[in-house]
């Protein structure tokens, strides 16, 4: 399924609910936040260790939070910086829309089509049982693929456009995997902010 619509779309899937809002931020705000974040975020380029081999992560990242809860995945532990007023402003818009409170924003910068985020679920224990994850996209539009772990016919994609918001809910992180794949197309920078509730454990 290829999803492309001007409207807010609610996708009810087996073991998951997804909400996609294409023009969540207007173009002016989306452009402003994109340029601001590109220049001002404290981007990190971490090593990841997979099956005993160490690589540079294929994207830049940063973690902001209202508490000092660290967040670990793929053998990386990230320590947060305090929210900046710009990230807080985005968080407030998203909390209003989702009627949910978030503690942390994990931010990804995909420099070009070689940067990616491999198949994974956001199922770290710090996120709790059925986390809501709200994901804001800025800059180059890229496909977000998601597939059910057991139901082979359940494979979908959504193009995440500049200024769009994707909300992942329900048991999605237990039953589905998602990715941002590499592409050979000559494409520009994309920034993605995923708002999460990270518990101090």
Ligand X SMILES: O=C(O)CCC(=O)C(=O)O
Site residues (CB under 6 A) for ligand X?
106, 108, 117, 122, 135, 144, 160, 178, 180, 192, 194
Partner whose binding site includes residue 136, from Fe ion, ligand X, none (CB under 5 to 8 Å by kind): none
Partner whose binding site includes residue 60, from ligand X, Fe ion, none (CB under 5 to 8 Å by kind): none
Q: Find tokens 């985005």 and name the residue.
A: 90
List 97, 112, 122, 154, residue binding Fe ion (CB under 5 A): 122
Tokens of 105: 């924003």
66 or 108, CB closer to ligand X?
108
Task: Return the DSSP state at 66.
Answer: S
| Count of residues near Fe ion by CB under 5 A | 1
Ramachandran sector of residue 86 (left: φ over 0; alpha: ψ -120 to 50; beta: rest): alpha
**Binding string, 11-50, against Fe ion, x = CB under 5 A?**
----------------------------------------
Interaction between residue 154 and Fe ion (CB under 5 A): no
Q: Least distance (Å) from ligand X to the CB of residue 128? A: 15
**Closest residue (Cβ) to ligand X?**
192
Q: Least distance (Å) from ligand X to the CB of residue 102? A: 14
Give CA–CA dist 142/179, Å, rounded.
10
Alpha helix positions (H), 135-200: 172-175
Neighbouring residues of 5: CB distance < 8 A, sequence distance ≥ 6: 20, 22
Residues, the chain: 201
- Decide: 180 and 122 in contact? Cβ < 8 Å: no
34 or 176, CB closer to Fe ion?
176
């Amino acid at each position: 399924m290829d999803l492309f619509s001007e409207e807010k779309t609610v996708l009810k899937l087996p073991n998951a609910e997804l909400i996609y809002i294409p023009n969540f931020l207007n173009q002016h705000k989306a452009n402003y936040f994109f340029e601001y974040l590109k220049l001002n975020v404290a981007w990190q380029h971490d090593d990841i260790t997979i099956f005993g081999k160490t690589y540079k992560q294929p994207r830049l990242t940063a973690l902001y939070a209202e508490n000092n809860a660290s967040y670990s995945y793929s053998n990386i532990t990230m320590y947060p910086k305090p929210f900046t007023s710009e990230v807080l402003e985005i968080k407030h818009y998203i909390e209003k829309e989702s009627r949910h409170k978030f503690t942390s924003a994990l931010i990804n910068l995909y420099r070009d089509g070689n940067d990616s985020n491999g198949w994974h679920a956001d199922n770290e224990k710090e996120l709790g049982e059925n986390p809501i994850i709200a994901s804001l996209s800025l800059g180059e539009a890229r496909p977000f693929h998601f597939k059910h772990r057991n139901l082979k016919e359940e494979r979908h994609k959504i193009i995440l456009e500049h200024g769009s918001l994707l909300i992942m809910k329900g048991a999605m992180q237990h039953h589905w995997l998602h990715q941002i794949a590499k592409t050979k197309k000559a494409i520009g920078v994309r920034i993605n902010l995923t708002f999460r509730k990270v518990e101090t454990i």
